[in-house]
A and B are shown apart, each in its own frame.
Chain A
Amino acid sequence: MTEIGQATADTTLHGSSAAIVALRDVNKWYGDFHALRDVNLAVGRGEKVVICGPSGSGKSTMIRCINRLEEHQQGDIIVDGVELVPDFRRIEEVRRQVGMVFQNFNLFPHLTVMENLTLGPILVQEARQDEAEAAAMGLLKRVKIPEQAWKYPGQLSGGQQQRVAIARALMLKPKIMLFDEPTSALDPEMINEVLDVMVELAEEGMTMICVTHEMGFARKVADLVVFMDDGEVVEAAPPERFFSAPENERTKLFLSQILH
């Protein structure tokens, strides 16, 4: 298996047209604080990249730059052939190609599960209501909670809410899925039901960029594991090598802390 997923300072690798997401020397500041420092990352179509690193290392910031919930100040970000230059006007179009799942689910509490799912297609793709509802039902079956369709998010468990959130992100048939710590707000017994859905999604060939500390998940599906610290990509390697033979001292320290 040849992998395109790369995270390296070597910019020559990024010309590859097979990469669906590419970050080249990306820099981002919050005020004076340098949150991303020359970040380079390429993700091949259909590949899975897991990002880990200590709290405050810039993982969320990086992933949020990809669908422009945050704006970067320097460097290039290319998503499915579209370059996110400053002052980019048609960001909604890019966002329709990129689904996102948040740590806190962020479902719309005033809408039913069904409405949460159909809102996007109806508003942004002008889908017909019955078609959107049929598609939503299909996805709810895939995440194994079709019977919750007419409830409100507040009536669901955390694991169920997160599965609804995944289904909602899939409604627009995105090419890329971003996950920002999708299981870290969940009680332990609910983590697996969400990870199972994610593994299935991975097996179906979805391109995934996933911030998570679930190392079992990384071992199972990741093509590339990226370790970030202090706004920098410190190490990037396929899971076998990343876990068995990390090179950087900071990676070793981090792994020793989370793997016990």
Chain B
Amino acid sequence: MSASISFATPKSTPRRPPPALEAGVLLWLRRNLFSSAYNTVLTVLALWALFVTIPDFIVWAFIEAVWWTDDPQACRDASGACWAVVVEKHRVMLFGTFPYEEHWRGVIAIALIVGMAIASAFKRLWSYWLFVAWLGVTAAVLVLLLGGVFGLTPTGTHQWGGLPLTLLMFVGTVVGGMPLAVFLALGRRSRLPAIKAMCVGFIEIVRGVPLITVLFMASLMFPLFMPEGVTINKFLRAQIGMILFFAAYAAEIVRGGLQAIPRGQYEAADAIGLSYWQKTNRIILPQALRIVLPALMNDIIRAFKNTTFVSIIGLFDVLGATATALEDPLWVLFALEAYTFIFVLYFVFCFSMSKYSEHVERDLSKGRNL
């Protein structure tokens, strides 16, 4: 016991950076790209593929590209991309058949919606007021696009098109679909069998068919149900179809959130005498929606991409408007460039939403209070 062999030597050493190879670029390369023979082969193949495609792409997209001309012939003579088609046709692509001299209204509508979307990203602003603000912005956008008041020239929905139509359709889908989704989710958990059966039936039927079917049904069937003489316009019919489709999926996500709330939360709310709606609005939904926000963002992004389907039933969203723009025989050859622009546009919108949702998810997983 007395002669112990254990010992420690006290010593003082200044801090210093780690040895170069251990944390440096080389180590990263070795670990991530060349860790095994198999990995090395894949890396070499990928590098080769990049080597073959990237230089050609750069030459096409940038070096030999024509950026600025109103003469399609100049584009045909060049070997690179013809971005001039986007410059030449951007008004039609972005605003479709909306009257040319009224495009400024479309610009304001886009700015309002994008601005509101950015504001919604700040957690500090999250409350039911945010939803009310969205209703307000939607109303303002409708006034801008419909005209007929405040001295604005009336522009019917048949004249709408391009990005304002896409964005309005998207916002309408989410703003109209979220409350419906919440009601469906609550209804699916209702103790009243009739309500429960209706909600389950609706959700399962809508989820059981493709969106395009819902849109065709909305545009062809609604008129049949309407009394003689009453017509709902095409935009509204498509909007209703989009809302129903979005709500059916979002309802299932919200239901997952409701199920994740412990029973004790319901009981505590009951014990202080809250009514069903007080309990739902103040205790259950705020928690459930926070939990499912990342999953909901997925559906919201999908709803954005789904707006392109309305071009099939004859509305001129950005995609439909671009197709119209390309009907010009002088520019019809440059569809690739025009669609690349649309691709980038969608990518920017969807990628920002998806990055944002990742950020929210990280916060949630840290157990922070949003």
Contacts and interface: CB of A to CB of B under 8 A. Distances in A.
A157 to B, nearest CB: 16
A106 B274 contact: no
A92 B274 contact: yes
Q: Describe B's contact surface by its main secondary structure.
A: helix
B367 A154 contact: yes
Interface stretch (A8-16, A93-101, A196-204, A233-241): A93-101
Interface in A153-173: 154, 168-169, 171-172
Contacts of B267: 69, 102, 106
A38 B270 CA distance: 26
B340 interface: no
Contacts of A119: 272, 274, 282
A104 interface: yes
Contacts of B278: 123-124
A93 B275 CA distance: 10
Contact of B272 (A95, A104, A110, A152): A95
Contacts of B273: 92-93, 95-96, 120, 124, 172
Interface string A108-134: 111000000001100110000000000
A107 interface: yes
Interface string B274-287: 11001000110011
B290 interface: yes
A67 interface: yes
A109 B271 contact: no
Contacts of A120: 272-274
A92 B272 CA distance: 8
Interface in B278-310: 278, 282-283, 286-287, 290
B126 to A, nearest CB: 11
A95 B275 CA distance: 11
Nearest to B283: A108
Nearest to B264: A106
A172 B272 contact: yes
Nearest to B367: A154
Interface in B225-247: none
Given A92-B275, A123-B278, A106 B270 contact: no
A168 B290 CA distance: 24
A109 B369 contact: yes
Contacts of B268: 100, 102, 106-108
Given A110-B286, A110-B369, A123-B282, A168 B264 contact: no
- The range of chain A's interface size is 20 to 34
A109 B275 contact: no
Contacts of B270: 67, 69, 95
Interface string B182-207: 00000000000000000000000000
Contacts of A110: 286-287, 290, 369-370
B265 interface: yes
Contact of A168 (B262, B272, B283): B272
Interface string A227-245: 0000000000000000000
B290 A100 contact: no
A108 B265 CA distance: 7
Contact of A169 (B271, B283, B287): B271
A179 to B, nearest CB: 12
B272 A109 contact: no
Contacts of A96: 272-273
Contact of A109 (B269, B282, B287): B287
Contact of B271 (A69, A93, A107, A123): A69
Interface centre among B264, B273, B274, B369 (most CB of A within 10 A): B273
Given A106-B267, A110-B290, A169 B272 contact: yes
Contacts of B265: 106, 108
A110 B269 CA distance: 13
A179 B30 CA distance: 62
Contacts of B274: 92, 119-120, 123-124
Contacts of A108: 265, 268-269, 283, 287
Interface of B: 262, 264-265, 267-275, 278, 282-283, 286-287, 290, 367, 369-370
Given A69-B270, A95-B273, A96-B272, 8 more contacts: A67-B271, A69-B271, A95-B270, A98-B271, A110-B287, A110-B290, A123-B274, A171-B272
Interface of A: 67, 69, 92-93, 95-96, 98-100, 102, 104, 106-110, 119-120, 123-124, 152, 154, 168-169, 171-172
> 4 closest pairs, A vs B, by CB?
A106-B268, A106-B264, A120-B272, A95-B273
